[in-house]
Amino acid sequence: MRADSVDVAVVGAGVVGLAVARALRERGASVVVCERTGIGSGQSGIQPGGVRRQWGTATGCRLATESFAFWREAQSLLESPVELRFRECGYLFVAHSERMLGRLRANVAIQNAEGVPSLIVDPPQAANLVPGLRTETLSGAAWCAEDGYFDRPQAVVEAFARGADVLLGEVTELRRGAGGWEVLSGSGALSAATVVLAAGVASAPLAAQHGITLPLEREERHLFLSTPIAECLVEPLVVSVERSFAAKHLADGRVLASDLAATGDAAAGAPRWRARVREGIRELLPILEYVDFPILASGAYDVTPDRQPILGPIGDGLHVAAGFSGHGFMIAPAVARIVADAVEGRLDPILDVLDLARFEEERLVPEPQVV
């Protein structure tokens, strides 16, 4: 039987909430994860498992680098019943102008200073890295061979849920109680010394109940997927920010292609996004010309004004891990460690950068390499 009083209640059973709960359990805390719909029913159930260390801030690189060490050992660390294969296929960010190449070069310098083995390549080198890539309109590209994708990203989310005590029911109210919090949900009341909000944009209304403003916005995002194709057409991920285009052949055989600017209503936008994807394919990856994209997968990012997450304490016994701006899966291991440390009272120096106060104090750390 579940205790009605625990050390920590985590709100949200996405990859972040589950990873935080796992880290806390490993340290001996009693933890309940309160989830309104089901494990991985939010963004974590849509993301295709991309993991990269090519970022444009030292903060982004640090979160990614700590997480990358975890991902390389994911199979043994997460004890999954199915294989959690992380395929280091590489990410290629292409530039069609000297200006964009300059931006990529500046980001690579930041990455290299953080130990990330990325580099700038010229068009012929890019063509060698991605067979089938057309390079006529390229000035160069940034490449990291160790970036990659999980073969079964949802199995990774489920693996974080192993051993978790998940209480189903929407959390509607956080009430101050004796010794901490009363967490009120569709399943009743739960007492917890500490609450961690890991509910994406839905963290904001819960924090607002206590006068705390979390600057989180919902941003609709969409991906096109093909039906499965046996022959692998494009192994690395190819991204063109200037053409707002990205494509990659996933391990399940589906080709993923996206118009990176695709946001808003799918019924209205899909024909325009599909046309832009087709233009990107013609210009960069004609090998995909005859691939059909019948599936449109839709989800939403939880974005902050600087596209970096908000982490750590926001009140007495109240913590947050939200605002992942489209890259919360890949940095979940580092976030879990940092938030679990904070719950135990140890504040990682990165919280001086990613704390909530940065918005009021105008200490934003804009991450330029979000797609």
Which burial class, exposed, middle or buried, applies to 150 when counting CB atoms under 10 A from its CB (0-12, 13-18, 19+)? buried
| Interface characters, 184-213, with ligand FAD (x: CB under 6 A) | --------------xxx-x-----------
Residue of 213, 195, 218 whose CA lies nearest to 317: 195
Q: Tokens for 175?
A: 């009430």
Shortest-Cβ-distance residue relative to ligand FAD: 14
Q: According to CB under 6 A, which one of 66, 151, 165, 170 is a site residue for ligand FAD?
A: 170
Q: How far is the CB of 47 from ligand FAD (least distance, A)?
A: 3
Count the residues of the shown chain that bind ligand FAD, applying the rule CB under 6 A.
Answer: 37
> Minimum CB separation from ligand FAD for residue 99, in Å?
26
Query: Judged by CB under 6 A, which of 62, 248, 319, 327 binds ligand FAD?
Result: 327
Residue pair 295/224 in contact by the 8 Å Cβ criterion: yes
Within 277-306, the residues that bind ligand FAD by CB under 6 A are 299-301
Burial of 169 (0-12, 13-18, 19+ CB in 10 A): middle
Task: Enter the DSSP assignment of 314.
Answer: E
Please identify which residue in 236, 326, 340, 348 interacts with ligand FAD, judged by CB under 6 A: 326
Q: How far is the CA of 203 from the CAs of 31, 264, 367, in angstroms?
A: 18, 21, 22
Q: Which is nearer to ligand FAD, 114 or 302 (CB)?
A: 302
Q: How far is Cα 124 from Cα 136, in angstroms, rounded to an integer?
A: 10
Alpha helix locations (H) across the chain?
A: 15-26, 58-72, 74-78, 98-113, 123-129, 153-161, 203-208, 266-284, 332-343, 351-354, 357-360
Site for ligand FAD in 46-75 (CB under 6 A): 46-50
User: Which are the contacts of 349, defined by CB distance < 8 A and separation ≥ 6?
Assistant: none
User: Is there binding between residue 320 and ligand FAD (CB under 6 A)?
Assistant: no
Q: Is 329 in the site for ligand FAD (CB under 6 A)?
A: yes
Q: 14 or 90, CB closer to ligand FAD?
A: 14
Out of 223, 343, 350, 353, which residue is the one contacting ligand FAD (CB under 6 A)?
223
Of 264 and 286, the one with the shorter C-beta distance to ligand FAD is 264
Cβ closest to ligand FAD, residue 108 vs residue 199: 199
Amino acid at 181: W
Question: Smallest gap, in angstroms, from Cβ of residue 239 to ligand FAD?
Answer: 11
Count CB neighbours of 242 within 10 A.
12
Cβ–Cβ under 8 Å, residues 86 and 51: yes
Binding mask 16-45 for ligand FAD (x = CB under 6 A): xx----------------xxxx---xxxx-
Q: Name the residue nearer to ligand FAD (CB basis): 174 or 284.
A: 174
Please, what is the minimum distance in Å from the beta carbon of residue 69 to ligand FAD? 16
Closest CA to 312 of 344, 351, 364: 351
Contacting positions for ligand FAD (CB under 6 A): 11-17, 34-37, 41-44, 46-50, 170-171, 198-200, 202, 221, 223, 299-301, 324, 326-330
